[in-house]
Amino acid sequence: MATGIKDKVVIAGMGCTRFGERWDMSSDMLMVEAFEEATRDAGIERNRIEAAWLGGALDDINVGNSAIPLATALRLPPMPVTRVENMCATGTEALRAAVYAVASGAVDIALALGVEKLKDTGFGGLPIRTKGSVNDLWMPYGSAPGTFAQLAGAYAAKHGIPAADLKRAMAHVSWKSHQNGVHAEKAHLRKAVTMEQILNAPMVADPLGLYDCCGVSDGAAAAIVCTPEIARSLSRDALVSVKSVQVCASNGWEMQYGEWDGSYVRNTRIAAQKAYQEAGISPKDLGLTEVHDCFSITELVTMEDLGLSEDGRAVFDVLDGKFDATGKMPSQIDGGLKCFGHPVGASGLRMAYEVYTQLKGRAGARQLANIDFGLTHNLGGQPSNSVAAVSVLGRLE
């Protein structure tokens, strides 16, 4: 009978590059930057790593479709090295693979690294790929802002939220993240903005304005994971354990049947419930969340999908400051995708890096008090055809 992964794996060390327009850095150089910080943090030499996973989402413009670039850039000793891809959940998939390898007993020490370099393409957004039935049937007919604008409309219609109230709540989501991002030294955008700037910004896809959308950037993040026994031999600090990692992909139900009303993301709800069960916690036990705020409406709806707000109440919780840095449940304490941008393969691991940093008490000006558990969430694709990933980190029991 399956017993889950709770407390079977410890994060020995993590690394994260500065995210941004890294014109002077190749993907290989970004990988090295993240990896060197992770090895220093863990106190583990590369020859002790037994297996590695590379997360990269856009093979045609990034590192290619194999994991060989990871092995060569890091000069890894001969070992299994694998590339994984699962849309915006790619970084979390790399972490999940490394964690599962250690939890299974196959290896004692493993590496997960995610990287994406998007700014060099000269393209303002993510390239659209048209391979496979999902992309062929639906993706050519909708942009990312367009599909998430539909989520906003469906959510407001279902719960009877006036357009002005929804717009103010979405603006507060972005305002809060920009306030937090000022204190995140590795963020792409570190400038606070006013509510007036957000509300008066140009429209992208009604009701999403410019500040409701995250940008693209370059970046990499890495995690070295190991058994609790090895972790105890390496550090006397508080040990950060992986409590759960859950992934749930759409099977087409949302687009092919009439039951879904478009106001929530089913996959997130399923992944979250499984993650809480595996971790042995409830949503109220969380001290912070790093969620997939590709758009402000995504973060707002995700609060309900994660069980942090009751259905139809996230608008009011947001406006009441529940998810602010000083609120009951801080979200995006480092500024999130809104301030870091979204180098797809790296984002999931970047989120884990922030939770890990908070649990270690190393977050400086943005450090939160009394953190026992933190959650990360990714949402790949569009609300109707998506993959959701939810992980819970906490101190080793």
pLDDT of 153: 97
With a cut of 90, say whether residue 35 has pLDDT above it: yes
- CA gap 7, 10 in Å, rounded: 7
CATH number of 10-120+218-241: 3.40.47.10
- CA gap 119, 77 in Å, rounded: 31
10-120+218-241 and 139-214+244-395 in the same fold? yes
Chain centre distance of CA 376: 6
The letter for the amino acid at 282 is S
88 is catalytic: yes
Cis peptide leading into residue 207 (ω within 30°): yes
Q: pLDDT tens, 274-315?
A: 999 999 999 999 999 999 999 999 999 999 999 999 999 999
With a cut of 70, say whether residue 342 has pLDDT above it: yes
- CA gap 104, 21 in Å, rounded: 39
Q: Which residue has the tokens 């480092």?
A: 334
> Are residues 210 and 297 in contact, defined by beta-carbon separation less than 8 angstroms?
no
Mean pLDDT of the chain: 93
- CA gap 78, 232 in Å, rounded: 26
Residues 6+ apart with CB under 8 A from 1: none
> Are residues 62 and 56 in contact, defined by beta-carbon separation less than 8 angstroms?
yes
pLDDT of 237: 84
Which one, of 375, 388, 393, 377, lies nearest residue 223 by Cα?
393
183 is catalytic: no
Q: How far is CA 79 from CA 93, 98, 113, 127, 234, in A?
A: 19, 13, 15, 32, 22
How long is the chain?
397
Residues 6+ apart with CB under 8 A from 193: 174, 175, 178, 211
Catalytic residue selected from 172, 188, 292, 342: 342
Ramachandran quadrant class, 325 (left: phi over 0; alpha: psi -120 to 50; beta: rest): alpha
* CB neighbour class for 55 (10 Å; exposed up to 12, middle 13-18, buried from 19): buried
Lowest mean pLDDT across 6-10, 66-70, 155-159, 256-260: 256-260
Q: Please name the CATH architecture into which domain 139-214+244-395 falls.
A: 3-Layer(aba) Sandwich (3.40)
143 pLDDT band (50/70/90 cuts)?
confident
Does residue 295 sit in helix, strand or coil?
Answer: strand
- CA gap 395, 228 in Å, rounded: 11
pLDDT of 65: 85
pLDDT of 136: 56
Q: pLDDT tens, 218-241?
A: 999 999 999 999 999 997 788 999
Beta bridge partners of residue 55, listed in sequence order = 84, 114
Q: pLDDT tens, 160-207?
A: 999 999 999 999 999 999 999 999 999 999 999 999 999 999 999 999
Q: pLDDT tens, 82-125?
A: 999 999 999 999 999 999 999 999 999 999 999 999 888 765 55
Domain ranges of the chain: 10-120+218-241, 139-214+244-395
Strand-pair category, 288-290 with 81-84: unpaired
Beta bridge partners of residue 117, listed in sequence order = 218
With a cut of 70, say whether residue 141 has pLDDT above it: no
* CB neighbour class for 170 (10 Å; exposed up to 12, middle 13-18, buried from 19): buried
Q: How far is CA 127 from CA 57, 59, 141, 252, in A?
A: 11, 11, 14, 23
Q: pLDDT tens, 316-327?
A: 999 999 999 999
Which one, of 382, 344, 345, lies nearest residue 139 by Cα?
382
pTM over 0.85: yes
- CA gap 175, 169 in Å, rounded: 10
> Are residues 214 and 341 in contact, defined by beta-carbon separation less than 8 angstroms?
yes
- CA gap 374, 371 in Å, rounded: 7
Catalytic residue selected from 16, 88, 214, 226: 88
pLDDT of 2: 85
The letter for the amino acid at 30 is L
